[in-house]
Amino acid sequence: MIALNRIRNLDLANPPAAGRPAHLSAASGLARVGSFIYVVADDELHLGVFRHENREPGRLIRLFDGELPDAKPERKRRKPDLEALTLLPACEGHPYGALLALGSGSRPNRRTGALLGLDAQGAVRDVPRTVDLSPLLGPLDDILPKLNIEGAVVSGDEVSLFQRGNTRHADNAIVRFPLSALLDVVLAGRTIALKPTAIVRFDLGQIDGVPFSFTDAAALPDGSMIFSAVAENTADAYDDGPCTGAAIGMVDRSGELSWMHPLDRPHKVEGVDARIDDGVIRLLLVTDADDAATTAGLFSATIGR
């Protein structure tokens, strides 16, 4: 069992909008770059920016224009549903790499992303640019039941998207594309639909009759990937449900499930960063509280290799 250590709440210096609480509640994707910790929340139009070395309140970078309604049903209907955040390597126009936030693709209005260029220290240096991810996500509707992309990982010359299942369609999958094709969409505005090079499906087991499903992933230097998974009692990609368990696992370089261990608390972990230090895998994780009044948390954990 993996022990979680709470580092901090994801509180903010200023709320995302008048009348909203000054914190992130639905943290859904995490990327650590240098001393910066970047977090997307699936019910906001902003990117949260925190510093690893201090506990000062974070700040927000607006990703999309407009405002979301406060009422939960209407907010859910209109939100871009940003569920994944990944670091792109150095590429045209971005010599120090860039962050890419991705919508889940579960509805047509959730196939939008945001691209943010970085400087040498890992700070955001560019105004965010909206990206149409329909060429990437749209074709998957015909392949995967109830599309719901929750993680994106760049490793070598490939990008892997993590499809999240549910109690009705317990069909977790890793969908692979050439990185060059993704960059064509993100940088050059390619509109022709992309075809994945591989789709690998996974059965992650269950707890109390509720199947585990992918919620995020991160690459390790050897080409393997660490993923987070939760057992959330919901039958579709739209509605939330109670979380009965959470776990961390590894997929090796060949695409096989190596191991999966439960977390000591059933927090709904939806974002993960992983790195190796002295032979130990060190994790940062963020949670989705499914309640606007409850602050999401940043946690750490370690796993021996």
167 in Cβ contact with 185 (< 8 Å): no
Give the domain range for residue 108: 5-304
pLDDT tens figures, 208-257: 888 999 999 999 999 999 999 999 876 554 556 778 899 999 999 989 99
Domain count, the chain: 1
pLDDT tens figures, 49-93: 999 888 999 999 999 999 999 888 899 899 999 999 999 999 999
Any idea what the CATH number is for the domain that residue 159 is in?
Answer: 2.115.10.20
Global pTM? 0.95
The band of 305, judged by pLDDT with boundaries at 50, 70 and 90, is: low
